[in-house]
Structure 1
Amino acid sequence: MSARSTMLLASAVVMFMANAASASMMSVDLGSEYLKVALIKPGRTPISIVVNEMTRRKSPALVGVVKGERLLGEEAFSLSVRYPDFIYTRIRDLLGKPASDPSLHRMLQAQSLPFKVVPHSPERPTAAVQGTDGSVHSAEELVASLLQYARGIAEAQSGAPVPDAVVAVPPFFGQAQRQALQDAAQLAGVNLMGIINSNTAAALQFGIEKDFADKTQHVIFFDLGSGSTIASLVKYSSYEAKEAGKPKAISQLEVQEVEWDELCGSNNL
């Protein structure tokens, strides 16, 4: 798992560096109920959090469809009390799952969510949401709207197009969920350069400006989210490489162990 995450991250970094002279990219931490966006742009701090239209560092991961108009993020949150039947939450957790998945129905019941989870179509039994008006929206469609929202606030701060993205997801996301995320990115017109486990992203952020030359350090990362809990053991160390013909210590990380409870979150307790 750690090798795959490192490979995806390295691929994203290499691709970005190849276009760094003229391009920006964003990273998206896609949570159950909130999302965060960071901007990577030449001349800026390596990773800087983007604030949304309300100058907040995190945005509600909400999508609303009210009278034919699509509402996203803060706007959807502001109208969630007035139109609770048409504001959808926890949509990340629907990705790549069949509509018959028992965990989805337990979540709806536990959270008292007003919408139903139904098959997207007879030919495609993956999870979709059905509002009280009978309208059906696939999980990929709704997550695509969130990615468009993330790109919008990133471009507002960048002042230039931000077509490329790396998205952080929970380590328990399987192949079907990751493929569904790729489909959502394609719908959103976002070039998904990589998918990284959220615990690996946190470990990278922790160690990105630290020097582990001539030492080894183990750190436990514990993340109690709104929908799940993740704990990981990360080893930081260094290896020797040559730069301009001279030896140089390069810091590295290795995710040695990851454990999670997909259904134990702060809003599920």
Structure 2
Amino acid sequence: MEGEAKGNGCAIGIDLGTTYSCVGVWQHGRVEIVANDQGNRTTPSCVAFTDTERLIGEGAHNQGVRNSSNTVFDVKRLIGRNFTDPTVQSDAKHWPFEMTGGDDDKPKITVSFRGIKKEFSPEEISAMVLLKMKETAEAYLGTAITDAVVTVPAYFNGSQRQATKDAGAIAGLNVMRIINEPTAAAIAYSMEQKWSDTEAQKPERVVLIYDLGGGTLDVSLVVIKKGVLEVKATTGDTHLGGEDWTNHMVDHFISEFKKKNSCERDISCDKKALRRLRNSCERAKRMLSSQTHTVVEVDALFEGIDFYSTITRARFEQMNVGLFSKCMEPVERCLVDAKMDKTKVDEIVLVGGSTRILRVRQLLRDFFGGKEPCTDINGDEAIAHGAAVQAAILTGDKKHDILLHLIDVVPLSQGIGVNGGVMSVVIPRNTPIPTTRKKNFVTIKDNQTSMNLDVYEGERGMIKDNCLRGKFKLSGIALAPKGVTTVDVLFHMDQDGILNVSAEEKESGQKNKVTITNDVGRFSMEDIERMVREAEEYKAVDEELKKKAQARNDIESYIYTMRNTTIKKLQESADGATKWLQNKELDTAEINDKKKELEAAYTKLYLSTI
């Protein structure tokens, strides 16, 4: 987990989700989950662009059908990935917005904003969602916020973590720490759980956190004991979530529509139709968690043809059997990594909206011999809850010592690329942090004068399948036949997940080191600064539009008051002002000046009648 210096003052915790995001803050001795301007405690991770404005959250989500090609969602599935990544290409088939690959193979999202084609990186879109959460907290607290803890899936690699941190910087946030989502959920669980007398007497409790959200699955095994919350193992799938179930339903009904209506063209070529069908499938998926069957119905779906179909829970489960089988693989792997028998697990805690799918709960229940999963904590808010607690601790709140001893693990193996493109692991995954590990490497040529050390992370045997984190060179090593000169490589990872790698060849006394901060493939500082400036410009435009909308509302209300008087001149002024307002190019200052003019006229004419 990448970390930075502790912040000062109030800090917030943000769950940046694939489909929904949530923000919490520690206040009055407890966590407050902050509702947005619509009164909802979670906000769609959705951004839309129109001819006049940028919308974030509910506003973006609500106009998604009529403006589908300029409404962006699911960017968490893009962040930190390459455009040519097979998972990115697979997802792109279900997205109505346009996406291209840049010169660096990074995804670029293309939209039309205020009549101009604009390209945004996934980090910039994520920054807009983070900004919405920041502003939501600021409105609640009545003060500016700069410090935050942001959560990511436990199985995010370094590139994805750094990309998330970059998104925070673009949004004007000092991301104090990136923490794993199941770890945040475990913090929330440990704080909120009310132990029975028998449970309280146990020296420790073994808890499996099962976090299935819109786009990712995380599984962590956590041991909770007095003064310590220790993550024993964590694993998951960064590309498995509720969106995949929805995508399968969409594909199924596209095929059914084509068969029923003998259409030559595919619905997927019509972005608006695709979005409407997707919305209906999403509703049907949710309904099947409480009903045995439901309908998928869309009027004039495609080429004026209405679509109506039914789907049973059994059919839904059958069409997604492959996804359900993938749901349990991380559970088995997590227990093996933790060297823990499933009978030792005291509690299975469900987190994430997709754990409401009944088949998922049944699979967990069956795997653990009938043990009923725990649903005591709010699965939609638990991650933000835990992040808010961590944020409070980092800003100096010492009231909850149990959480000051959080022991997390390395989610992915760290190692060096060696001859033949092989990954030589130095720190295996699920090693508790902080940790220090050493490994010896030898020269591969006679009289070799230097050694290139490339640092990778991942679980594959070959470096081409893993993620490059950084590289450095050790020069001036002692001349000798190949295999004789030995270089000691030391990996040290601190509690924030910052990796320092050093190398020493003792005979020559040569040393070198590198701090891995995931600079490989990330934005330059110039890029970050440019995006921050642009984000400020977009924010200023948003604020101006809000002020203009408020000014129009105020003057229209005043015009209504004038029109309802019995004074003919005031009624005529009201009619004239209404026509004047039809000019769309008016700015806020002009509207406010006009309102003052009307107020003066109203006061003068009204007083003359008294």
TM-score (norm 2): 0.37
1:249-264 equivalent positions in 2, closer than 5 A? 251-264=227-240
Per-residue Cα deviation, 1:213-233 (whole angstroms, up to 9, x for no partner): 861110111122111222211
8 Å contact from structure 1 (residues 141, 187) kept in 2: yes
1:117 aligns with 2:99: yes
Residue 264 of structure 1: CA displacement?
2.3
Unaligned runs of 5+ in 1: 239-250
Pick closer, same or farther for the CA change 1:257–1:71 going to 2, 3 Å. Answer: same
Residue 244 of structure 2 aligns to a residue whose secondary structure is coil
Question: 2-side partners of 1:232 and 1:177: how far apart?
Answer: 19
8 Å contact from structure 1 (residues 94, 128) kept in 2: no
* Of 194, 201, 204, the match for 2:184: 201
| Residue aligning to 1:40 | 26
Per-residue Cα deviation, 1:78-100 (whole angstroms, up to 9, x for no partner): 21122111110011221111111
| Residue aligning to 1:175 | 158
Question: 2-side partners of 1:180 and 1:90: how far apart?
Answer: 15
Please, what is the CA RMSD of the aligned residues?
A: 2.2
Question: 1-side partners of 2:31 and 2:81: how far apart?
Answer: 32
Instruction: Give the total of aligned pairs.
Output: 237
Pick closer, same or farther for the CA change 1:46–1:237 going to 2, 3 Å. Answer: same
Per-residue Cα deviation, 1:183-242 (whole angstroms, up to 9, x for no partner): 21111111111100000000011113568686111011112211122221110113xxxx
Question: 1-side partners of 2:192 and 2:242: how far apart?
Answer: 30
8 Å contact from structure 2 (residues 79, 123) kept in 1: yes
TM-score (norm 1): 0.81
Residue 263 of structure 1: CA displacement?
2.6
Per-residue Cα deviation, 1:61-84 (whole angstroms, up to 9, x for no partner): 001121252110111112112211
| Residue aligning to 2:57 | 73
Question: 2-side partners of 1:55 and 1:142: how far apart?
Answer: 23
- The amino acid of 1:237's aligned partner reads K
Per-residue Cα deviation, 1:108-160 (whole angstroms, up to 9, x for no partner): 22xx21123322x42x3312212378532111111111111111000011111
1:71-220 equivalent positions in 2, closer than 5 A? 71-109=55-93, 112-119=94-101, 121-122=102-103, 124-131=104-111, 134-208=117-191, 215-220=203-208
| Residue aligning to 1:25 | 11
8 Å contact from structure 1 (residues 105, 117) kept in 2: no
| Residue aligning to 2:211 | 223
Residue 21 of structure 2 aligns to a residue whose secondary structure is strand
Question: 1-side partners of 2:210 and 2:184: how far apart?
Answer: 13
8 Å contact from structure 2 (residues 24, 31) kept in 1: yes
* Structure whose residues are more often helix by fraction: 2
Pick closer, same or farther for the CA change 1:267–1:93 going to 2, 3 Å. Answer: closer
Residue 234 of structure 1 aligns to a residue whose secondary structure is strand
Higher RCO (CA 8 Å, separation ≥ 6 residues): 1
Per-residue Cα deviation, 1:17-59 (whole angstroms, up to 9, x for no partner): xx3xxx2111110111110110124xx2432101011111110
8 Å contact from structure 2 (residues 77, 239) kept in 1: no
Question: 2-side partners of 1:134 and 1:101: how far apart?
Answer: 25
Question: 1-side partners of 2:188 and 2:180: how far apart?
Answer: 13
8 Å contact from structure 1 (residues 213, 237) kept in 2: no
8 Å contact from structure 1 (residues 96, 127) kept in 2: no
Question: 2-side partners of 1:258 and 1:82: how far apart?
Answer: 41
Q: Identity over the aligned pairs, expressed in percent?
A: 31
8 Å contact from structure 1 (residues 26, 165) kept in 2: yes
